[in-house]
C-alpha cells in the first residue's frame, strides 16, 4: 500500500512538473517571424502548403498571450493563441491552400500582398464574441477563428493583429539559404511558389 501511495504521489508530482516544462517547450517552438531559417516550424509550414506565398507567424506576443497546439501536416497548418483574459484557444490560426467563407466583408488588409475578409459569427453581449478573419494570397489562405470569452467583445482583436504577422516565402527561402550557406533549398528545383 505504501508503494501504491508513493507511486500516486510521484504521478501527481510528475503531472505538476510536466505542465511548466511543456509550456516552456511550446514557447520555444512557436512559429516566430524573426527566426525563420533557424528553427523548423515555419519551414515545416512552408512544406505543408508548398504553394503558399505567405506564411502566418508570431510577431510579438502581448502580455498574457501564448501559443499552443502547433499542428503541421501536409496540406494544413494550425496553431492557437491563448489569452489569460479572453480564454484558452481564443484564436485559431489555420493555413491551407483554400478557405471556406461564410458571410464575409472585404476590408482593407493590414498585410501587403494579401486580401482581408472579415465575418462576425455570433455575439453574446457581455460574454462572448465569435468571428473570423481570412487573408487570401497567391497559393494559400490563412484564417483566424476568433473566440473571445469576455465582456471585451472584439477589442482583443487589436492585440491579435499585433501578435500575428506574415513572412513571405521568398524571405523564408532567402533566410534558409543564408542559414545553410546555400546547401539546402526550400523548394524542389522544379517547383517554385506561384
Partner 1 sequence: MEPTRRPASLAEGEPVRTRSTRITRTGRRRRPSGEAPPLPRALVTGGYWLAATGLVVLLWLAALASRTTNNYILGFDLSLLDWVVRLRADALTDLMQTAHALGSRWTIRVLFWLTVLVLLVFRRFRHLFVFVGAVVGVIALSSLLAYLFMRPRPLGAEILGHWTGAAHPSRPVAVVTATLVGMLYSLAPAGRPRQLGKLVVAVLVAVLSLSLVYLAVHGPTDVVFGAIIGVTIPLVAFRMLAPNEVFPVTYRHGQTAHLDVGGRRGQAIHQALEDQLGIQVVELKPFGLSGSAGSTPLRVCVKGDPNSYLFAKLYAGSHLRADRWYKLGRTLLYGRLEDEKPFNTVRRLVQQEDYALRLMHGAGVRSPEPFGIVEITPEREYLVVTEFVDGAVEVGEAEVDEAIIDDGLRIIRRLWDAGLAHRDIKPANLLVRDGHIHLIDVFFAEVRPSPWRQAVDLANMMLVLATRSSCEQVHRRARLQFNDDEIAEAFAATSGITMPSQLRKAMRDQGRDLHAEFLRLLPEWAPPIAIQRWSIRRVGLMIGVALLALLALVTALSSFESAGLL
Q: Does residue 189 interact with partner 1 by CB under 8 A? A: yes
**Cell digits for 40?**
523548423
Q: Which of 115, 153, 154, 179 touches partner 1 (CB under 8 A)?
A: 179
- Smallest gap from residue 48 Cβ to partner 1 (A): 8
- Smallest gap from residue 29 Cβ to partner 1 (A): 6
Cα–Cα distances in angstroms (integers) from residue 76 to residues 31, 64, 96, in the given order: 14, 27, 5
Q: Does residue 190 interact with partner 1 by CB under 8 A? A: yes
Residue 111's closest CA among 142, 76, 67, 153?
Answer: 142
Q: Does residue 44 interact with partner 1 by CB under 8 A? A: yes
Quote the CA–CA distance of 93 and 51 in Å, as a whole number.
18
Q: Which stretch binds partner 1 (CB under 8 A): 3-11, 85-93, 98-106, 142-150?
A: 3-11
Q: Does residue 191 interact with partner 1 by CB under 8 A? A: yes
Q: Which is nearer to partner 1, 109 or 177 (CB)?
A: 177
3-state class (DSSP) for residue 118? strand
**Residues 12-31: x where in contact with partner 1 by CB under 8 A, - otherwise, as a string:** -------------x---x--
Residue 115's closest CA among 80, 143, 146?
Answer: 143
**Cell digits for 172?**
523564408
Amino acid at each position: 500500500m505504501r508503494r501504491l501511495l508513493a507511486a500516486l504521489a510521484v504521478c501527481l508530482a510528475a503531472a505538476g512538473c510536466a505542465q511548466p516544462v511543456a509550456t516552456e517547450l511550446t514557447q520555444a517552438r512557436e512559429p516566430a517571424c524573426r527566426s525563420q531559417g533557424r528553427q523548423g516550424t515555419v519551414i515545416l509550414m512552408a512544406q505543408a502548403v508548398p504553394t503558399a506565398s505567405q506564411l502566418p507567424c508570431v510577431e510579438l506576443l502581448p502580455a498574457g498571450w501564448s501559443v499552443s497546439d502547433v499542428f503541421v501536416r501536409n496540406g494544413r497548418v494550425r496553431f492557437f493563441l491563448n489569452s489569460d483574459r479572453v480564454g484558452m484557444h481564443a484564436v485559431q490560426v489555420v493555413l491551407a491552400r483554400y478557405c471556406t467563407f461564410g458571410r464575409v466583408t472585404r476590408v482593407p488588409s493590414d498585410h501587403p500582398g494579401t486580401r482581408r475578409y472579415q465575418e462576425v459569427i455570433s455575439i453574446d453581449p457581455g460574454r462572448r464574441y465569435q468571428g473570423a478573419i481570412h487573408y487570401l494570397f497567391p497559393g494559400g489562405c490563412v484564417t483566424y477563428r476568433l473566440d473571445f470569452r469576455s465582456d471585451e467583445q472584439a477589442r482583443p482583436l487589436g492585440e491579435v493583429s499585433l501578435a500575428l504577422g506574415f513572412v513571405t516565402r521568398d524571405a523564408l527561402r532567402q533566410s534558409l539559404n543564408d542559414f545553410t550557406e546555400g546547401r539546402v533549398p526550400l523548394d524542389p528545383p522544379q517547383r517554385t511558389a506561384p
